[in-house]
Structure 1
Amino acid sequence: MSFLPDLLLEPLVRAALTEDLSPMGDATTRAVIPPGLQYAAALNAREPGVVSGLQVAAMAFRMVDPGLRLTLHSADGRPCGPGERLMTIEGAAASILMAERVALNFAGRLSGIATLTAAFVARTEGHAARITCTRKTTPGLRIVEKAAVVHGGGSNHRYGLSDAILIKDNHIAAAGGIRPVLQAAARARSHMMRVEIEVDSLDQLAEVLDEGGADVVLLDNMDTPTLTRAVEMVAGRMVTEASGNMCLERIAEVAATGVDFISVGALTHSARTLDLGLDF
C-alpha cells in the first residue's frame, strides 16, 4: 500500500543519507570491502508486526546505487512474522552497506508506528469509532509517519495547521470565549473548510451546541461516563472525537461510548521501533 509519490519522499531520504555519509562517505566500507564485490542481502523482520516504510527503504538503496536489484516480498500495510523476508537487495556490497542504516531506520520506525496503530485499531472491533493520529510527529517526518498510521489501519487527522480550523482551549481563551470564537471561525472559513472545537466539560459542549457553526467537537480529557453523556447530547449533530491521554488499555471502553474518532498522539510520539535486520 504505497500511496506517496516518490518526489515527496526523495528529500527525506536524501537528507538522511547525507547526514550519514557526510562529509567523506563510508570510511569502514572503503577500508574493508574490496571494490566490485557483489553480494545479496535480505531485509528481515525479527518480530511480528505490520510493515511500513518499505517504499522509503527501497528508495534509500536505489538512491545510493541505482544499479542495485531490489525484490519486494511484502508491502506496506501487510502483517509480518518473525524471520519473514521483506526485501532482497542484490548488487555492490559497498552500496548495500552504505544505505543499510538509513533504510533500517526508516523501515523500523515506520513499521513500529503501523504496528502500534494496528493494536489500537484492534481494540475498537465491534464499534464504529476510528483511530486517528495527531500532529505530534517527528519534525520533518510527518508525511511518512502519517502514512504509517494508515498502513496500520488508522486514519489521519489534519496534516498541518492549514488543513482545517481546529479551535483549542488557548484559542478560546485568547478570543474571548466559545461564542465569539465560533462566530469568528464562521466568518473566516471557506466552503471547503471544516471547523472543529475542543471542549473539556458538558457545559462547554452545551454552549457549542447552542451556538452552532462547528462540524466536529473534540471531547478532551473526559472520563468514560462524561464521554457517553457528551455523545448523547450531540445526538449526531456533529462528528465527535475523543482525545487526551488515550492509552491502549482504555480504547475499548472509549469506543463503546459511541464516539466517531479517537485521536491518539502516542501512535507517532511513543511507538517502539519494530526490530528489523539486514542479513548478508
Structure 2
Amino acid sequence: MLTTTAIDRVVRAALEEDAPWGDITSETLIPSSATAEAALVARETGVFSGGEVFAAVFRHADPSIRTSIDVRDGESFAAGDRLARVAGPARAVLTAERVALNLTQRMSGVATLTARYVHAVSGTGARIADTRKTTPGLRALERHAVVAGGGRNHRFSLSDAVMAKDNHLAVLGGSLSDALRAARARLPHTTHLEVEVDRIDQIDEVLAAGVDTIMLDNFSLEDLRAGVDRIAGRATVEASGGVSLDTVGDIARTGVDVISVGALTHSARAIDLGLDLEVR
C-alpha cells in the first residue's frame, strides 16, 4: 500500500532537488498574481499510475493549487485522453510541473510494462512479481505501479523475508539442509523462507529443510518443467532469470507459480504525458 508518508518523502526530496533555492525563472518572468489551469494529457496509450503522487507534488508546491484526477490507477488510456487537471497560482504550477510529470510518467511506464507481462501469461495461473531492482528512493512508488499494472509485489526489503540466494549459500558451505533447518528453527513461524537454486540436484536438499518457496534461477524450460514436477506442490515455485516479454509465456506454461521480473522496474520506459497549460 502506498502511504501518504512515503509519497510526501519522495515529493519533498524531488522538489528540493529541482528548485533548491526557488524557481528563479518563474519568479522573474511570471507575475505573482497570474493564475493557470493545466491538463495532464496522454501522448500515447498506456496504463495509469500515480494520481495521488501527481496531486501531492502540486499540493507541496502550493496548497492553494486545486487538482482533480480523471482516471484511476490501473485504468488504461489512449493518446489524447485527459488524465488530470490542475488550477492555481501560475508560478507554483510551473515550478511543480516537471517533478509531477517525471514521477507520473515513471509510474505509468512501470504499470504499462507490467500489464504487458500480465497479459502475456494470461490463462496460465502464473503470477508476475517485481524484484528489488528498483530506483533508489522510488521503491514504494514503483511497487505501487506494478500492482496498478496487475502484477504482484515480492518482498519489499531485506527486512521482510529470508531469501537465501547463491552468494548466501556459497558463504554457508557444509550441509545446505542442516543450515536451512537451523535457520527455520530460529525464525518466527510467520516469516517466509525462500531459497534460490541454480541446479535441479539442489532441490531435494532444499525441500528437506521445509522451505516455503524455491526459486529456480536461470533454468531452461525443460529444467523448469522438471523442477515443478520434483517439487510437486511441496513449496511455491518461482522462476527468475532470462525473463522477457518474448520468453515469459513459455516460462509460465511450465507450471511455475510465480515469475519474478526485474525489468518491470529497472527497464520500464516512461510513458509520454504532457501538461497543457492555459495562463490567465
Q: TM-score under structure 2 normalisation? A: 0.96
Match of 1:58 among 55, 58, 63: 55
Q: Secondary structure at the match of 1:268?
A: helix
In 2, the alpha carbon distance for the partners of 1:201 and 1:259 equals 16
Corresponding position of 1:103: 100
Deviation (angstroms), 1:173: 1.2
8 Å contact from structure 2 (residues 178, 209) kept in 1: no
Matched, 1:248 2:245: yes
For residues 70 and 150 of structure 1, the distance between their equivalents in structure 2, rounded to whole angstroms, comes to 24
In 2, the alpha carbon distance for the partners of 1:54 and 1:246 equals: 29
User: Which residue of the partner structure matches residue 186 of structure 1?
Assistant: 184
Aligned AA for 2:85?
T
Q: Which amino acid aligns with 1:181?
A: A
| Separation in 2, partners of 1:59, 1:219 | 40
> How many Å separate the matches in 2 of 1:29 and 1:181?
61
Deviations 1:215-274 (A, max 9, x none): 100000001011011101111110000001211100110010110000000101110001
The Cα offsets for residues 59-113 of structure 1, whole Å up to 9 and x where unpaired, read as: 0001111111111111211111101111110111111100000000100011100
Listed one character per residue, the Cα deviations across residues 25-70 of structure 1 (whole Å, up to 9, x for unaligned) are 1111112111211111001111111111121111000111111111
Match of 2:198 in 1: 200
- For this pair of structures, how many residues does the alignment match? 276
Q: Distance in 2 between matches of 1:105 and 1:127?
A: 35
The residue aligned with 1:12 is: 10
In structure 2, stretches of 5+ residues that fail to align are none
Task: Give the deviation of 1:187 after TM superposition.
Answer: 2.2
* Distance (Å, rounded) in 2 between the aligned partners of 1:98 and 1:228: 54
Query: Could you tell me which of 15, 34, 39 is aligned with 1:37?
Result: 34
Written as runs of structure 1 = structure 2, the 5 A alignment for 1:186-265 is 186-209=184-207, 211-265=208-262
In the alignment, structure 1 residue 128 sits paired with structure 2 residue 125: yes
Alignment counterpart, residue 138 of structure 2, candidates 125, 131, 141: 141
Q: What does residue range 77-92 of structure 1 map to in structure 2 within 5 Å?
A: 77-92=74-89
Q: 1:278 aligned to 2:278?
A: no
The residue identity in structure 2 corresponding to 1:225 is: E
Alignment root-mean-square deviation, CA: 1.0
Measure, in 2, the Cα distance between the counterparts of 1:77 and 1:254: 25
For residues 10 and 115 of structure 1, the distance between their equivalents in structure 2, rounded to whole angstroms, comes to 24
Distance, in Å, in 1 between the alignment partners of 2:187 and 2:3 is 30
Q: For the Cα contact (< 8 Å) 2:126–2:259, is it kept in 1? A: yes
Letter in 2 for 1:45: A
> In percent, how many aligned pairs have the same letter?
49
Query: Counterpart of 1:249 in 2: which secondary structure?
Result: coil
Once residues 180 and 274 of structure 1 are traced to their aligned partners in structure 2, the CA distance between those partners, rounded to angstroms, is 48
Structure 1 segments (4+ residues) deviating >3 Å: none
User: Could you list the runs of 5+ residues in structure 1 that have no partner in the other structure?
Assistant: none
CA contact under 8 A between 1:172 and 1:181: conserved in structure 2?
no
Asked whether 1:164 is paired with 2:161, we answer: yes
- Superposition pairs of residues 59-74 of structure 1, within 5 angstroms: 59-74=56-71
**Aligned match of 1:151 in 130, 148, 156?**
148
Structure 1 Cα separation of the partners of residues 179 and 158 of structure 2: 17
CA distance in 2, matches of 1:162, 1:173: 21
Contact map agreement 1:198 1:217 (CA 8 A) in 2: yes
